[in-house]
Amino acid sequence: MPRLKLFSILISILFTVYLVFALLFLLLCRNAAVHFNGIDPEADSSSLAGAYFTRLYFTTVAATTTGFGDISPKSPRARALTMLLLVLIVSYGLFMMINVAKLIRGRGA
């Protein structure tokens, strides 16, 4: 049971990272025309919830390495945040895979 609790905590942390990075993109890269390619500045500025959803979408697409290409970072600030996100997500993914492998082998996490 403690292993399952640890795994659920790890998943919760991952979900929190997604939400926090979407918020960081919203706060630090608010002007879509300056920081991103592919985001309509007028539509982005019309609704804070819509702007957050767009950043959450970008965060998810970038973190899962899907990379549709419809939205891309343009400014150095947006690129730096994207690089930090990717490094954290890849490192965290490796950490989770190692722990899952340990759970499967029965060595504990």
pLDDT tens digits along 22-58: 999 999 998 999 999 999 988 888 999 999 999 999 9
Per-residue pLDDT tens digits for 76-98: 999 999 999 999 999 988 988 88
**How many C-beta atoms surround the C-beta of residue 22 within 10 A?**
22
pLDDT of 14 reads: 86
> Which value, in Å, is the radius of gyration of the alpha carbons in the chain?
16
H helices present in the chain, as ranges: 2-28, 32-35, 41-46, 48-63, 76-105
Domain residue spans of the chain: 2-105
User: Which burial class, exposed, middle or buried, applies to 2 when counting CB atoms under 10 A from its CB (0-12, 13-18, 19+)?
Assistant: exposed
pLDDT of 43 reads: 87
Note the pTM of the prediction, 2 decimals: 0.82
Hey, which CATH number is domain 2-105, 3.40.50.720, 1.10.287.70, 1.10.10.10, 1.10.490.10?
Answer: 1.10.287.70
Per-residue pLDDT tens digits for 57-76: 999 999 888 889 899 999 99
